[in-house]
């Protein structure tokens, strides 16, 4: 258990406590899988007393809000990085967006639920919503670009929401173990690909003028 670099010395001031608490909370939320995580646990993990958080946060929900907001920032960054590996307009950009979304949910299921699911009433809910909107705006942009590039007729927002619905449903049913209970043999990747195909790639094309 080292602090900063190579020294083992435990200093009175933590230095990065705010972010350390957010990280600890994020880990615990994912480990406890929806059972409420406790602030005391996060303090234990960060190695500080249970009173320390109140130097950095108004209350517990303030930390939760920060975790959710950073979740959206992370998700958007990963989506951008993945999409940018392909040329503008490439169909692979659409495919990879779905894949990253699902992977994000599978890797941090409880964080995913916190971001998209029913949240407790949060003191800083506005920042969460703002980051969520930014993330969606990016996806919408990508879908709109795709439609323009391929001369797809139709409302890009409607198409984006439809794809989102499908992929979100798949992620939810996957991380909640519902597919496993009811249709264990299905191949989730294939399922999503097949749906996305019909929702996006077989849209009527504008006849080339």
Partner DNA sequence: TGTACATCAGTGAACGCGCGTTCACTGATGTAC
Rule CB under 7 A: which residues touch DNA? 11-15, 17, 36, 38-41, 47-52, 54-56, 59-60
CB nearer to DNA: give 49 or 141.
Answer: 49
Decide if residue 164 touches its own copies (CB under 8 A): yes
CB of 63 or CB of 196, closer to DNA: 63
Of 99, 94, 104, 78, residue with least CA distance to 188: 99
Among 118, 204, 207, 209, binds its own copies (CB under 8 A): 118
Three-state secondary structure along 138-184? HHHHHHHHHHHHHCECCCHHHHHHHHHHHHHHHHHHHHCCHHHHHCC
Token output for 41: 């646990």
Residue 106 touches which of its own copies, DNA, none (Cβ within 5-8 Å per kind): none
25 binds its own copies (CB under 8 A): no
- Strand-pair partners of 205: 152
> How many whole angstroms separate alpha carbon 23 and alpha carbon 63?
10
Name the binder of 34 from its own copies, DNA, none, CB < 5-8 A by kind: its own copies
Distance, in Å, from the CA atom of 53 to the CA atom of 142, rounded to the nearest integer, reads 39
Does the footprint of its own copies cover residue 179 (CB under 8 A)?
Answer: yes
Partner that binds at residue 41, options its own copies, DNA, none, CB closer than 5 to 8 Å by kind:
DNA
């Amino acid at each position: 258990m080292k602090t900063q670099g190579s020294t083992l010395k435990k200093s009175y001031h933590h230095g990065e406590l705010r972010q350390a608490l957010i990280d600890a909370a994020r880990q615990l939320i994912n480990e406890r899988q929806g059972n409420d995580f406790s602030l005391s646990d996060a303090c234990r993990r960060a190695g500080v007393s249970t009173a320390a958080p109140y130097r950095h946060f108004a209350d517990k929900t303030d930390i939760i809000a920060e975790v959710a907001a950073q979740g959206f920032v992370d998700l958007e960054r990963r989506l951008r990085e993945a999409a940018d590996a392909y040329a503008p307009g490439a169909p692979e950009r659409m495919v990879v967006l779905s894949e990253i979304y699902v992977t994000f949910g599978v890797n941090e299921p409880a964080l995913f639920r916190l971001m998209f699911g029913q949240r407790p009433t949060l003191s800083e809910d506005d920042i969460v919503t703002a980051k969520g909107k930014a993330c969606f705006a990016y996806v919408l942009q990508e879908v709109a670009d795709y439609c323009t590039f391929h001369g797809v007729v139709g409302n890009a927002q409607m198409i984006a929401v439809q794809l989102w619905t499908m992929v979100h449903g798949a992620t939810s049913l996957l991380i909640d173990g519902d597919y496993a209970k009811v249709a264990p043999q299905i191949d989730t990747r294939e399922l999503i690909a097949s749906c996305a195909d019909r929702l996006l790639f077989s849209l009527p094309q504008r006849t080339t003028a």
